[in-house]
Structure 1
Amino acid sequence: TNGNIQIYGGDTFYLSADLLLTGSYASGSLYGSVGKTWRTLVLTTGDSKQDIGVFESETAAPVSFSVQWLNMTRIELTKKDINTQNPLSGAVYGIYTDKKCENLLMTMTATGTDGKAVSDYFDSALKTVYVKEVTAPTGYKLNTEVYKVDVAAGKTLTVTATDERVTGRVKIAKIDKETLAFKAQGDSVLRGAVYGLYAKEDIVHPDGTTGVLYKQDSLIAQGVIGDDGTLEFSELYLGEMYVKEITPPEGYTLDTTKYEVSVTYEGQDVAEVTRDLTVKEQVKKQAFQLIKISEDGEQTETDLVAGAGFKVYLISDLTQVKNGKLKPSNGESYTASDFKNYDFSKEQVAVTYENGTAVPVPELITDTKGYAVSPELPYGSYVV
């Protein structure tokens, strides 16, 4: 621009300009170094006479040229996290000529660390193009929104798009270690257990800028096992985690197991990564022993009785206790006298469990010394 150049006969040259330059260019009249052109006419008689010559000159005509620049345009896309508004790298978008995004014009390069990508130039005669995400950044779900772009010649058109991170969900199912189901033993309960979700390693935000959200072994969330035996942690950031019991429910021992769970990215088409986890609880147990003696109320010494049989019943399972007909005489808890005239003939004995199967507590038979020892019974109140 604003310069001079000398061109000689036989020279070839070209003009270049930024692709966003529009319109046309005209050189105007260009004059060479020769101001005039000469033409000569020579006549000969063919004999000994002198030839006759005539010449004339005329002013040289100027030359000119013009250029019609191509009407080009391009698109600059900026990609951000929808919540943090931090730039996202690795997003790839396509530019289409139709609203359904079936006719691909070109694929843009992946966004850089600044969240930006610039397309190649294309003809502005298209008037309208459509931009849609082809590949989401790692840790994010695909954005299916179509962005309409009205094309203008000679401009870099801007589009700002956002992505939502893929979330995680951990579903916990609570079971008894021996019933192998959400079925408590004795008078214990499985609901009400408190569990914590912890970071097995640092949990980092996927936007690449925010950084560490949860340090290793820090508590991410905690919750309580509900009446259906389940607990869910949702809207989680992806990463390696573990679940551990904080407070056991009534009648159970604290489970110190760390249940590891890997909630990792499964691709842009999976909006929520779900993991199912089963946690087991050991019921508290204790055995008891009894001695059978014989006395008439007057003897100072007692006789040990061998071969006496005793059956064990869980009080809360007795029919008249469940239907409310039998209540504690002291208003608080049952005593042996409450069952003095109770008919146990139609009642089921207490049970323990092995590998999910109920095992009735066998009748206790005293030995030669009058002793009998029960198996370990689940947490609860029993009558013998």
Structure 2
Amino acid sequence: MAQQVQGVIAPGRNEPVRVETILVPDPGPGEAVVKIQACGVCHTDLHYKQGGINDDFPFLLGHEAAGVVESVGDGVTDVAPGDFVVLNWRAVCGQCRACLRGRPWYCFDTHNAEQKMTLLDGTELSPALGIGAFAEKTLVAAGQCTKVDPEVSPAVAGLLGCGVMAGIGAAINTGQVGRGDSVAVIGCGGVGDAAIAGARLAGAAKIIAVDIDDRKLETAKTMGATHTVNSRTGDPVEAIRALTDGNGADVVIEAVGRPETYKQAFYARDLAGTVVLVGVPTPEMQLELPLLDVFGRGGSLKSSWYGDCLPSRDFPMLIDLHQQGRLDLGAFVTETIGIGDIEQAFGRMHDGDVLRSVVVF
């Protein structure tokens, strides 16, 4: 029997979000209902609200979440009621050409719950990234549930569901930062700071944080940045080269998602260096680069989806590092808020006043 819970929806493009009663159906085959304990307010949710992802309104927002499995449908064996899980939006299929080649983090057929959550009048909701976790409970594919140590705080664990994993993975998995490397990170929001933390974990010798906000640069230092560059007051490409003996950084991570900053990343890398795009662009953005410049440099230009992570491998590992005191996930939580405070949290995020607001249920 469907359950009635409270959830936060985006009713239309740029309209204020609101709390509504949501109907959550019983889990069908391969599905699970999860009682949400905490969910981070991610910039991707704001993209959904603004219509920057698609126009499938109304959206049930929220995706950076942790909670407890309440019930599962037929055929579910990997999780059971009572399991503490972090939700992920890349539930790999195991059968596509990427999975069969041993690269499941590139899975081309990730899956979500088949059934739809609805409003009381029957209006179907589009869950953000197939999750929809700004709600007391949500319905997901069981493969979107990753078990982790239940001793960790839900407000901390849930951040691995998107931004923190995207940033750390961009450095470690996609950029393959190694010991002694020089790394530059352009854009020091939640994802950029996570990339800085990931570069530090990987043993980078020099980590250069680039942003236009001195407050964000100060925070980046606490995450592991060894140098900072305010690109509002100077040329970041020249600054990064000056800090790397005139060569450019071994790995440059672009965590903004704009053509201008991507070009900065491209020209700020060493000749055989790597550029990683982890910032999310909007559909209308276009990139122009001289093809001769692309040809004349070695190295790699990479895009990082979700930090090229494999949740079953990476989530438990990062939780372990957090519990060992080697990765301070709590440093990403600026504030905890209630379900009715999300519209205001979007404003603080847009203004750069928070690293992460986390809704606690």
Q: Relative contact order (alpha carbons < 8 A, sep ≥ 6): 1 or 2 greater? A: 2
Higher percent of residues as helix: 2
Structure-2-length-normalised TM-score: 0.22
Q: Structure 1 length as normaliser, TM-score?
A: 0.21
Q: Which structure's residues are more often strand, by fraction?
A: 1
